[in-house]
Amino acid sequence: MNAIETSGLVKVFGDTRAVDGVDLTVPAGTVYGLLGPNGAGKTTTVRMLATLLRPDDGEARVFGHDVRADPDAVRRLVSLTGQYASVDEDLTGTENLVLLARLLGHGRAHARARAAQLLEAFGLTDSAAKQVKHYSGGMRRRLDIAASILNTPKLLFLDEPTTGLDPRSRNQVWDIVRAVVGHGTTVLLTTQYLDEADQLASRIAVIDHGKVIAEGTKGELKASVGVGAVHLRLRDADQRARAQEVLARALEADVQLDADPVALTARLSGRATEQAAEALAQLAREGITVDTFSLGQPSLDEVFLALTDKKEAAA
């Protein structure tokens, strides 16, 4: 069974179609990434699926339950970790978890035990008796995720779970997400960090202006933009214009000048390796010194920019 199925999902705020006909199919047991810039409609989509907003049109089902007709059945299966930590700042870490455990139906003693267990697992035992307003961003996120798995949910919504975190805290949140998924929970992850989607998600929908503009596995998305890209760094910035000409001829591709004055990037289409080797040889013949050279699949960043560019060009 699919964890999420939506068809033609629409949400309108005033004149803005925040979500404009989104079709999604999220298989159970996977991490599905919703990737898009701020204001693309990611959060609105998640809020509709989590029964916080009523869709204006279209259909959405969570494990077969219609979010409009049977929101209570959906609420029993899902947890939400919102963009802004969904915990009570005035209460302590323990109080937050005990409160939610009680609301989920745990008895007093069991709620306390469960809270203590989670705080321990998340390395928060030392701060358990402190008010959450004194927590760091990383600690809040952890507590927030702990609150979401008080009852292991079948579907967990993570709305930009690492926005504003330092790299180390971000890695730790990723580890937690992997552990949760390892135990059979489906995760719908929204993010504006391509790296994050790359790390965690198995399938990705790229969303922009309320519409899904591309969908597939990471490999499929990358392949849709081209075979790969060549990144070059020259020793001498003065040689860059010449290098651009040579490369454009050799690769039969557009060569972009990067912000770094000695760097260039070219997107390849056909026989990537042979073309790249030939290009290097030609640069050497012209007397242009290359410091570093790399050939790789396009990053999701490039995928994303290419997809949104394409759409703008068509409009």
Partner 1 sequence: MTVTKEVELLPAPKAEDLAAVLLETEQPRRPSALSASLTFGWRAVLKIKHVPEQLFDVTAFPIMMILMFTYLFGGALAGSPGEYIQYLLPGITVTSVVMITMYTGVAVNTDIEKGVFDRFRTLPIWRPAPMVGYILGDLLRYVLASTVIMVVGLVLGFRPGGGFVGVVAGVAVLVAFSFAFSWVWTMFGLLMRSEKSVMGVSMLVLFPLTFLSNVYVDPRTMPGWLQAFVDVNPISKLVASVRALMAGGFDGDAMIWTLGYGVFFTAVFGAWTMRLYNRK
Phi-psi region of 59 (alpha: psi -120 to 50; beta: other; left: phi over 0): beta
Instruction: Give yes or no for residue 138 binding partner 1 (CB under 8 A).
Output: yes
207 contacts 213 by C-beta, under 8 angstroms = yes
For 168, other C-beta atoms within 10 Å of its C-beta total: 9
Instruction: Pick one of 57, 66, 120, 286: the residue that binds partner 1 (CB under 8 A).
Output: 120
The residue range among 118-126, 195-203, 213-221, 307-315 that interacts with partner 1, by the rule CB under 8 A, is: 118-126
The residue range among 50-58, 251-259, 266-274, 282-290 that interacts with partner 1, by the rule CB under 8 A, is: 50-58
| Calpha distance 218→104 (Å, rounded) | 36
- Could you tell me where the DSSP H helices lie in the chain? 42-49, 71-77, 93-103, 108-121, 137-148, 167-182, 194-200, 218-223, 240-251, 272-285, 300-314
Q: How far is the CB of 3 from partner 1 (least distance, A)?
A: 16
Instruction: Give yes or no for residue 118 binding partner 1 (CB under 8 A).
Output: yes
| Calpha distance 275→156 (Å, rounded) | 45
Instruction: Pick one of 91, 213, 227, 246: the residue that binds partner 1 (CB under 8 A).
Output: 91
Instruction: Give yes or no for residue 175 binding partner 1 (CB under 8 A).
Output: yes
Residue among 100 and 280 whose Cβ is closer to partner 1? 100
Interface characters, 60-89, with partner 1 (x: CB under 8 A): ------------x--xx-xxx-xxxxxxxx
Instruction: Give yes or no for residue 122 binding partner 1 (CB under 8 A).
Output: yes
Give Cα separations from 101 to 91, 112, 300 (angstroms): 14, 8, 39
Q: How far is the CB of 7 from partner 1 (least distance, A)?
A: 22
Q: Angle at the Cα of 278 (from 273 to 284), degrees rounded to 5?
A: 130
Chain centroid to CA 106 = 32
| Calpha distance 251→266 (Å, rounded) | 8
Instruction: Pick one of 18, 24, 176, 205: the residue that binds partner 1 (CB under 8 A).
Output: 176
Q: Which residues in this chain contact partner 1 in the complex, by CB under 8 A? A: 47, 50-52, 54, 72, 75-76, 78-80, 82-91, 95, 99-100, 102-107, 110, 114, 117-118, 120-123, 127, 131, 134, 136, 138-139, 142, 147, 149, 151-152, 166, 169, 172, 175-176, 179-180, 182-183, 185
